[in-house]
């Protein structure tokens, strides 16, 4: 007899302590930093927990102060961290970034952010099939993974191949491609396409699909990924297109007064997963993804407080004309007025 899931979503992957400059300018000129946390999978777990779901984070951190900070901060967001392992021999990863948009290329273009990682040999890079227990990763209705883990080490790649192998009884497997060029200097990112084919729900940006796989539009991505039940292609400010079975739905993104771009993709995945868990229609899943992404875009850090479920549902239910007039700015998730028309322009 199968055991009912103990969580809505289990997220597996590395989180790191992040240092954000206290002043503007390039990293070379910054002397004061503010400490935070960053990690695609833990961002999704924290956002889902704040949105009222049960979430578990599975990972490894060092037996150091940075590891303490990560575990305590993620637990404080309401996430189950009981499956996080402590490694006495490897450190917790850290990274430094400027306050601007996260760079997506090896050399940050003018006007974009700088990111410098110190994660080689980290505790999370030792994740492997031998160290991760099925009872931990199969404890949710959904298992959420990202392509970042694929690139961390050979043992991480082996773990990802195992977790995305189709077999009876596994939870719905969600996969955000999260292509980071700096992690693929010595490997072929088409591995991400192979892993994605074993999943049930795949998120990928159109820019990622172009850079990693040479695919130029949403329909080409779906043609390359016929196996997953649902494929979501994120198209930046233009919106997102979802394919599920024979259905194709495109939903534009609302206008957003952006504070920082970091964390928006993770928030989108969390919003889509939240609506999926609730059994909402495909259009509304995309709209909830856009709304949680807008919450992340209007704060300076990776994590934002999501809107109340009632507020998000009201906005997601707007007719197409009202949705197209929507404009969201800093503080929109915490306002007292929950009118669906609030923020329309």
Separation between Cα atoms, residue 231 and residue 242, nearest integer Å: 6
**Of residues 80, 87, 176, 266, which has the active-site annotation?**
266
Residue 12 has φ and ψ, to the nearest 5°, of: -120, 130
Q: Is 26 exposed, middle or buried (0-12, 13-18, 19+ CB in 10 A)?
A: exposed
Closest C-alpha among 163, 172, 177 to residue 205: 177
266 labelled catalytic: yes
Residue count of the chain, please give it.
345
| Ramachandran sector of residue 263 (left: φ over 0; alpha: ψ -120 to 50; beta: rest) | left
3-state secondary structure of 289: helix
Beta bridge partners of 61: 86
Closest C-alpha among 9, 88, 95 to residue 48: 9
Report yes or no: 228 and 202 within 8 Å, Cβ to Cβ.
yes
Q: Which two tokens stand for residue 225?
A: 């990924």
3-state secondary structure of 198: coil
Report yes or no: 29 and 56 within 8 Å, Cβ to Cβ.
no
Residue numbers annotated as active site: 266
């Amino acid at each position: 007899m199968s055991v009912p899931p103990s969580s809505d979503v289990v997220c597996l992957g590395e989180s790191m302590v992040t240092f954000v400059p206290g002043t503007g300018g390039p990293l070379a000129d910054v002397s004061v930093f503010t400490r935070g946390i960053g990690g695609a999978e833990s961002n999704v777990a924290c956002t889902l927990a704040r949105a009222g779901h049960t979430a578990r984070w599975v990972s490894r951190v060092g037996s150091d102060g940075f590891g303490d900070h990560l575990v305590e901060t993620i637990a404080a967001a309401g996430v189950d961290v009981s499956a996080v392992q402590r490694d006495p021999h490897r450190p917790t990863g850290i990274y430094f970034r400027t306050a601007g948009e996260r760079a997506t290329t090896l050399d940050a273009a003018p006007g974009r952010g700088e990111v410098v990682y110190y994660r080689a040999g980290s505790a999370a890079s030792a994740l492997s099939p031998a160290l991760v227990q099925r009872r931990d990763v199969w404890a949710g209705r959904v298992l959420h993974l990202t392509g970042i883990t694929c690139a961390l080490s050979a043992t991480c790649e082996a773990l990802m191949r195992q977790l995305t192998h189709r077999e009876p009884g596994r939870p719905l497997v969600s996969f955000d491609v999260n292509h980071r060029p700096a992690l693929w200097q010595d490997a072929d990112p088409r591995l991400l396409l192979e892993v994605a084919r074993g999943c049930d729900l795949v998120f990928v940006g159109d820019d990622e699909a172009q850079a990693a796989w040479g695919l130029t539009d949403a329909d080409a991505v779906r043609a390359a990924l016929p196996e997953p039940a649902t494929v979501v292609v994120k198209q930046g400010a233009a919106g997102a297109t979802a394919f599920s079975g024979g259905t194709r739905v495109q939903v534009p993104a609302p206008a957003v007064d952006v504070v920082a771009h970091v964390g928006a993709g993770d928030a989108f995945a969390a919003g889509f997963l939240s609506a999926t868990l609730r059994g909402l229609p495909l259009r509304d899943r995309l709209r909830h993804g856009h709304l949680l992404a807008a919450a992340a875009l209007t704060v300076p850090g990776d994590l934002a407080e999501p809107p109340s479920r009632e507020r998000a549902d009201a906005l997601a239910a707007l007719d197409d004309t009202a949705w197209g007039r929507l404009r969201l700015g800093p503080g929109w998730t915490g306002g007292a007025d929950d009118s669906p028309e609030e923020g329309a322009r």
